[in-house]
Structure 1
Amino acid sequence: MAEKKRKMSPRRTARVRAVQFLYQWGIQHQPAPSRKSLEEFWTLCPAGESVRRFAEDLILGTIDHIAFLDERIAEYLENWQLDRLAAVDRSILRVALYELFYRSGIPPVVSVNEAIEVAKQLGCEESGKFINGVLDRALRDLNRPLRAAGDAGGEG
């Protein structure tokens, strides 16, 4: 019997779209994205309003804090350099670290788990493990609980 393909949640879809946009933005070396560049992206990758809103928050927040996020990534890498990372892995890490450091309403374990799932979907075979290792080191710098009170590891 064929396995049913699970539909992605709106929040994961938004994370995937944010990573896709940031990947494209990063390889094109564009200045900060304009409303026009975001609208062009949404024309190619249609999404509902809630997905767009969350994805754009992740995109714009990540870009606003890109220097800090890249410094953290470089700090957490072991025997590796930021500029040598696969562009998609770098984009996934940027979004995940933005969530960890700037989106206190999302439990850290949710951000990490979501990043691993996005890496499995968009990255290479080893991306999930790699992302997990880097984010595990990042969790040590957080000054907040890894789970929200009453959180069972659900989607944030």
Structure 2
Amino acid sequence: MGARSTGREAALQMLFAVEAGGSSAPRVVATFWRETPGDPEGRAYADEVVVGVAEDLAAVDEAIRKASTNWRLERMARVDRNVLRLGAWELMNRPEVPRAVILDEAVELAKRYGSEESGAFVNGVLDRIAENLGRVDRDR
């Protein structure tokens, strides 16, 4: 697993902890790394994502709301919601990362940590977010 992949996995765990525990993103980041080893590149990416999602939460959640017409954000499973936040933030802020990579990584996280339907749900919502943002891979 590459550095960004492990970083995304750590970011998901931290985003989940931020939401579940009500602690600030910087506090969760500091606590997480005291208890969990991580390679420097993956760790830096995870920290950037977690802090970025926290800072841009209103815009990220609005993008998810617009793309998930049949699901209210508050009613989504916590894992799915946080995978979507991670993926939406990347789509909004990391143009150098191909759309397909962001979606594939998010789907894998959803499958690993979510329900049986999570992968398809996350894929559909993130695909709509990418379209709404005009994110098209060059080879598409």
What's the TM-score, normalizing by structure 2?
0.92
Aligned with 2:61 (options 70, 86, 93): 70
Aligned residue number for residue 104 of structure 2 = 113
Bigger Rg, which one: 1
Secondary structure, aligned partner of 1:140:
helix
> Matched residues in 1 for 2:135 and 2:28: separation?
35
> Matched residues in 1 for 2:134 and 2:125: separation?
17
Secondary structure, aligned partner of 2:128:
helix
Calculate percent identity across the aligned residue pairs.
37
Q: What's the offset of the Cα at 1:61?
A: 0.9
Q: Does the CA-based 8 Å contact 2:14-2:28 persist in structure 1?
A: no
Secondary structure, aligned partner of 1:78:
coil
Q: What's the offset of the Cα at 1:124?
A: 1.2
- Which deviations, in whole Å up to 9, do the C-alpha atoms of 1:95-138 show, x marking residues without a partner? 10011011111111111111001111111111101101111211
Aligned with 1:21 (options 6, 11, 14): 14
Aligned with 1:43 (options 34, 38, 43): 34
Structure 2 residue runs without a partner (length 5+) = none
Q: Does the CA-based 8 Å contact 1:14-1:55 persist in structure 2?
A: yes
RMSD (CA atoms)? 1.7
> Matched residues in 2 for 1:86 and 1:144: separation?
26
Secondary structure, aligned partner of 1:136:
helix
Structure 1 segments, 4+ long, off by >4 Å, are: none
- In structure 1, what residue type is equivalent to 2:22? H
> Matched residues in 1 for 2:28 and 2:86: separation?
19
> Matched residues in 1 for 2:94 and 2:34: separation?
27
> Matched residues in 1 for 2:134 and 2:59: separation?
17
> Matched residues in 1 for 2:66 and 2:123: separation?
15
Q: Does the CA-based 8 Å contact 1:70-1:94 persist in structure 2?
A: yes
Q: Larger helix proportion, structure 1 or 2?
A: 2
Aligned residue number for residue 89 of structure 2 = 98
Q: 1:43 to 1:128 in 2, by over 3 A?
A: same
Secondary structure, aligned partner of 1:53:
helix
